[in-house]
Chain A
Amino acid sequence: MNFDFSDEQKQLRDQVRRFLTDQCPSSAVRAILEGPEPYDRKLYKGLGEMGFLGAAIPEEFGGVGLGHLELCVIAEELGRVNAPVPVLSSIYQAAEALLIAGTEAQKAAWLPRLASGEAVATLALGEGPGKVSETSVKAQVSGGKLTGVKLPVADGDSADLAIVAAREPQGVSLWLVDLAGPGVSRETLETIDPTRSQAKLSFDGAPVERLGEAGQGWRIVTDVLDRAAILLAFEQVGGADRALEMARDYALERMAFGRQIGSFQAVKHMLADMYVSATLARSNAYYGAWALSTGSAELPVAAATARVSATQAFQHCAKNNIQTHGGMGFTWAFDCHLFYRRANALALALGSQSTWEDLLIERLRQRNDAPAAA
């Protein structure tokens, strides 16, 4: 049994960590938090040049063709540093959607530019508050023109391409929309985590091109969200681990009542519980990585498991990291809030925790009913 990453994949992890230590210090995250830029363009270009963005994109489409396990390793490192880059929308979602449903021409047109970081794409599903589902889609395509409003759309303010879910007579389909084209207006939204931008996209007769078969949009979306959930779980696991390390380091450094605060059981037990959450989430994320990389029939269950566990762990570790830091944890100057913001924003990206909990049980049930499932 080898339920672990290979030595080569661990070397890749070291390489990514070194790159990000150098290129993505917390000052870079803060520059996006406090400044006008939607994401760190220099960092994103660098990730493309290093081949990190294209890890799971085949060489014929401009990627490096390593695989999803490598992309999981990279995602974890991006999560550790709160990287302010549009990987969730452009790589985990849009590139995956193109790989699953794109024609050769569509893949050739977009994947090389997404892999290099030269272009950004996003997936536009939601249209306001509440659960995002096939029935919540109101946007419409008629005569090759899209009309409707999507919000929030991750990185919608900077993306070049949107993959939009919208209705046509056959049902909900996916559509490629050039966001620089006519009939598109966009507005950046103020959010709890400005280091991963969100926008409102309004379409008024924007020209579109179908991605995948008519009426099959939500089937593709489900598959894409499962894949993205596993990749994002690695970001969350990375973030949870880093938040735990910060709390541990502070508990060792900070003195109160004449002793290190990490010597108090109330603090130790809080940190031990964070470790438990982070460990369970890591093991569940590995299960997801295995299912993703082998194309297993377990993928839907593994994705929901990884997602629910990683969301819980990152939120748990991020909030208790602030608690461990006490008042200093609530200052703008300390980095704790960067993790708290990111943890709570990622908990909603791809659908809320309760939505994924629901999915997990539904899928376990389906697996139970399936004859002689693997």
Chain B
Amino acid sequence: MNFDDTPEEAAFRSEVRAWIAANAPTHLEAELKQSSFGNMGLKSEDPIAAAKAWQKKKFDAGWACLHWPKEYGGRGATPIERVIWGQEEGAYGTLGGLFTIGHGMCGPTLMAWALEEHKRKLLPAMASGAEVWCQLFSEPAGGSDLAGLRTKAEQATDGSGDWIIQGQKIWTSGAQNSDYGILITRTDPNVPKHKGLTMFWLSMKSPGIEIRPIKQANGQSGFNEVFFNEVRIPDNQRLGAVGQGWTVSLTTLMNERLSIGSGMPTGFPELFDYCLNFQTEDGPAADDRMVRSRLAQYAVKASGLKYTGMRAISALSKGETPGPENSIGKLVAGATMQELAMFALDLQGQAGVILDPAHAEAAARFQAMLLRSPATRVEGGTDEILRNIIAERVLGLPGDIRVDKDVAFKDIPTSGR
């Protein structure tokens, strides 16, 4: 049992390290290290321009999209090499947030389902960061129950074969910065819900698309609503067969859980550091036994996630597929951060209410965690959906009984009263 690289891994790591040392935007490092909770934290430069510049540099040197095949702009690297790259890229990796959905989800979906000529045109531009992608899945009526979506696609009657899209998506990350998106629609309401779906890719500049940012509960705006008013998509941009959209979407979602679940922050190192320094009447908070007990409970969760990750990396290193234990990442990290933030505010007493960084403790980082953490427990699969996945796929328990299973979509009740 050890944490050592194999000789091949060590050689790869030193190659990566040397290239990053020579090429990374070192002037941004300090600022990037402070980024947290989905905020890049870059103020000295335009974050989008900085992200695109770093991506282009990586692409030109063959370090973009390590896990993709070379012909589409990747490196054809092994999963363990991708992990090593991530470890070495460190804070610079947060610059890649703009491309996470494209590289992690849209790219693999296109690779599996798009026409070859489209793949050759679109994928290298996505890998180089020249073009940004989003995924248009969730809807007001279809979140956890994604297959309940209502955005309609109907084939045009003009003989063009084009599809006409009418409807609305929601929670689309980065839509305002995106050039393209992958879109799941309903093409047949007369069959059970999973069977009437069809997937497409489209230009986000298409006429009839309107993007409106959502003002979130924490006051920020990282997500959007996207409205489709008679948006036209050529039939050759269809991904998979008509009615096969659910199967296609699973390609995307499998990749979503993999990319979101890895290396989730819990906030423990920040809280521990805070408790060492925060002075109570009786000295540093970390001297208090009650505080220590709570800290220890968070510590073992953070540690447990870290070493669960190490087990997964070890499996990759041996050329094996990591076990199901990785499915716990977001479930543990999200809930831990939320509880921990409440605890940090409690330590601060009445002043815990202050969000103004000029007056707040620890630059209001725990207040920001408190306000952002509810989203972590919902996005990319709610805590409840993740528990269902663990129960069904890991423990082998039966699926829930579905009252809408064999019912035509148009006949499913839409309101409880």
Q: Taking beta carbons and an 8 Å cutoff, which residues of A are in contact with B?
A: 1-6, 69, 244, 248, 251-252, 259-260, 262-263, 265, 267-269, 271-273, 275-276, 279-284, 286-287, 289-290, 293-294, 304-305, 308-309, 312, 354, 356-358, 360-362, 364-365, 368
Contacts and interface: CB of A to CB of B under 8 A. Distances in A.
Contacts of A1: 2-5, 9, 310, 313-314, 317
B255 to A, nearest CB: 22
A200 to B, nearest CB: 29
Nearest to A358: B292
A308 B313 contact: no
Nearest to B292: A361
B307 A268 contact: no
B398 interface: yes
B293 interface: yes
Given A248-B397, A276-B332, A362-B292, A284 B300 contact: yes
A360 B397 CA distance: 36
B257 interface: no
Contacts of B331: 276
B299 A280 contact: no
A280 B310 CA distance: 12
Contacts of A4: 1, 311, 314-315, 318
A284 B58 CA distance: 36
Interface of B: 1-5, 9, 272, 276, 286, 289, 292-293, 295-297, 299-301, 303-308, 310-311, 313-315, 317-318, 325, 328, 331-332, 384, 386-388, 390-392, 394-401
Contacts of B297: 308, 312, 357
B8 to A, nearest CB: 12
Contact of B2 (A3, A280, A283, A304): A3
Q: Which of B318, B384, B396, B398 has the most CB of A within 10 A?
A: B398
Contacts of B399: 263
Nearest to A251: B397
Contact of B1 (A263, A271, A286): A286
A269 B384 contact: yes
Contacts of B300: 280, 284, 305, 308-309, 312, 360
Contact of A284 (B3, B286, B292, B303): B303
A276 to B, nearest CB: 5
Contacts of A304: 296
Contact of A354 (B293, B313, B314, B325): B293
Contact of B387 (A6, A273, A289, A361): A273
A305 B303 contact: yes
A280 B305 contact: yes
B390 A276 contact: yes
Given A3-B307, A280-B308, A283-B304, A361 B299 contact: yes
A103 B332 CA distance: 47
Contacts of B286: 361, 365
B2 A364 contact: no
A312 B303 CA distance: 14
Contacts of B384: 265, 269
Contact of A265 (B2, B395, B400): B400
Contact of A268 (B289, B328, B387): B387
Contact of B301 (A280, A282, A365): A280
Contacts of A309: 300, 303-304
A279 B308 contact: yes
Contact of A290 (B1, B296, B325, B397): B1
A354 B396 CA distance: 35
The 9 closest A-B pairs by CB, nearest first: A280-B304, A357-B296, A268-B391, A283-B307, A272-B387, A272-B390, A309-B300, A361-B292, A262-B397
A259 B331 CA distance: 27
Contacts of A293: 1
Nearest to A284: B304
15 contacts: A3-B307, A251-B397, A252-B396, A268-B387, A273-B387, A279-B328, A280-B332, A283-B310, A284-B307, A286-B311, A287-B307, A290-B1, A293-B1, A304-B296, A308-B300
Given A268-B388, A268-B392, A304-B296, 4 more contacts: A265-B387, A282-B325, A354-B289, A360-B296
A267 B388 CA distance: 10
A275 B313 contact: no
Contacts of B295: 357, 361
Contacts of A294: 1-2
A356 B295 CA distance: 12
A70 B389 CA distance: 33
Nearest to B332: A276
B390 to A, nearest CB: 4
Contact of B296 (A276, A281, A308, A368): A308
Contacts of A362: 292
B390 A3 contact: no
Nearest to B9: A1
Nearest to A362: B292
Contacts of B9: 1
A286 B305 CA distance: 12
Contacts of A308: 296-297, 299-300
A265 B1 contact: no
Contacts of A279: 304, 308, 325, 328
A4 B315 CA distance: 8
A362 B299 CA distance: 12
Nearest to A252: B397
B311 A283 contact: yes
A364 B272 contact: yes
Nearest to A289: B1
Contacts of A290: 1-3
A354 B394 CA distance: 32
Contacts of B332: 276, 280
